[in-house]
Structure 1
Amino acid sequence: MQVSSLLCPLCQHDGHQFYHQDNNKRTQRIYLRCQQCQLVFVPAEFYLSAEDEKAEYDLHENNVLDDGYRRFLERFWLPLKSKLKPNSHILDFGCGPGPLLGQMMQEDGFHVSLYDHFYHHNPEVLKPNFYDAISTTEVIEHLHQPCDVFESWLNWIKPGGYLAVMTKLVTTQAAFTKWHYKNDLTHVCFYSEATFAWLANRYGLHMTRDAQDVTLFRLPSRV
């Protein structure tokens, strides 16, 4: 692998540095940190195949009847809900096979569309300038091409609308070496506060943190 020739999947910058390498029976993945946007990312040669990736997702137990799972999602949903007007249209992107979050949104009177590459592949719902908000819970760390997806999200949201992101954030290099979050082989991009600040600056977004792992980006209103 020629590390020097790799581009950051988020900002396309070619400057990066070695950050960590796993060394166990399961994987010896390499992690690099972009010197521009500070994204920590895994080179593409370590990505799972689509079949293996879906097999990993099939193991997840996100039961719609699980009160604990509902409380987990409320931590994400309540800050976003407080920003939205009644009857807003929301796209739950990466909703998975049991879209409890979308159900919770509908219970609160919102219009919800579902999209998931593996479980709800409905490209007809991906409409430009249509949504008041897009919700992404534990999604952005899985993206192989986060730049393209992020720009698509912004294209689908109305001026003044919200992109809501839930993901755990990189803190320090020392903490990363022991971090359970990187052990999921479907996780290939890892963000920090600095990465999100770079995104907000790059696209002219207003960013707020409403929980340790919940970030809201607001698009500028139309002038």
Structure 2
Amino acid sequence: MLTCPLCASADTAFYHRDARREYLRCRHCALVFVPPAFHLGPEEERAVYDQHENSPDDPGYRRFLSRLFDPLRERLPPGARGLDFGAGPGPTLSVMFEEAGHPMAIYDPFYAPDASVLEAEYDFITATEVVEHLFAPGEELARLVDRLRPEGWLGVMTKRVTDREAFTRWHYILDSTHVAFFSEATFRWLAEERGMAVEFPAADVALLRKA
């Protein structure tokens, strides 16, 4: 059986199969993931993302992002510096934080691939609708936590797994670029593993604070 891409445990088991691909679940950290054999190549992945029409001029998109923006902003000191990881083709969350007085850097492997920003330290890092796309979430999230200053925040927005029956009917798995599915239990495992506190202030939102 394949090892888990989040915690590297070999204790994984079949979870679901549909017409396109299959899904495994880790018994250690509870991540549900798509095996690498079903991952898209870079060009196919980029083609899907190019269809996204996100813009800071879209009030509806801002309202969507406010589910993470509002509770995280309440917890930040004035002038806290942040990184929007996986900003996508139309960076918007970074604009919202800059408007609120927080200097921002952005990174996206396709649209803002300046890896030098991943060498700096930050008071907070956001990843909205990102972790479900990560082929190696354990490696990527460890790198982000390492870039946080003490008492820094990692804000994640992603829809969460609830149970197997709901998973089989879930629209979220229809997106071929979604390959890693977190549950509340997964975030609690991550927080404990990285020595962080975690809270869930809004739907689909997890805030993790570094010790």
**TM-score (norm. length: structure 1):** 0.93
Take 1:103 and 1:201, find their aligned partners in 2: how far apart are those partners? 31
Map of 1:29-178 to 2, 5 A cutoff?
A: 29-128=21-120, 130-178=121-169
For residues 41-72 of structure 1, what are the alpha-carbon distances to aligned partners after superposition, in whole Å with 9 as ceiling and x for unaligned? 00000000000000000011213221111111
Q: For residue 17 of structure 1, what is the aligned residue in structure 2?
A: 13
Q: Distance in 1 between matches of 2:26 and 2:93?
A: 32
Q: Secondary structure at the match of 1:78?
A: helix
* Residue identity opposite 1:62 in structure 2: N
Alignment length, in residue pairs?
211
Quick one: distance in 1 between partners of 2:56 and 2:125? 20
In the alignment, the residues of structure 1 paired with residue 153 and residue 55 of structure 2 have an alpha-carbon distance, to the nearest angstrom, of 27
For residues 76-108 of structure 1, give each alpha carbon's deviation from its aligned partner in whole angstroms, at most 9, with x where no partner exists. 101110111111110000001111111111111
Pair 1:201 & 2:197 matched? no
- Distance in 2, matches of 1:203 and 1:66, equals 36
3-state SS of the aligned residue for 2:123?
strand
Paired residue type of 2:163: T
1:8 aligned onto 2:24:
no
Q: What TM-score, normalized to structure 2?
A: 0.98
Q: CA deviation at 1:127?
A: 2.3
Aligned to 1:189: 180
Whichever residue aligns with residue 12 of structure 2, its letter is H
Give the aligned CA root-mean-square deviation in angstroms.
0.8
The whole-number CA distance in structure 1 between the counterparts of 2:50 and 2:57 is: 17
Distance 2:174 2:204 in 1: 18
What percent of counterpart residues are identical?
49
Please list the CA deviations of residues 6-45 of structure 1 after superposition, one character each: whole Å capped at 9, or x if unmatched.
110000000111110012xxx2x01000010010000000
Cα distance in structure 2, aligned partners of 1:183 and 1:61: 19
Structure 1 stretches of at least 4 aligned residues deviating more than 4 Å after TM superposition: none
Report the structure number with the largest CA radius of gyration. 1
Q: What secondary structure does 2:10 align onto?
A: coil
Structure 1 gap segments, 5+ residues each: none
Q: Deviations over 1:114-160 (max 9, x none)?
A: 100000011111125x1000000000000001111011001110011
- In structure 2, C-alpha distance between the alignment counterparts of 1:16 and 1:114, rounded to whole Å: 34
Helix, strand or coil for the counterpart of 2:95? Answer: helix
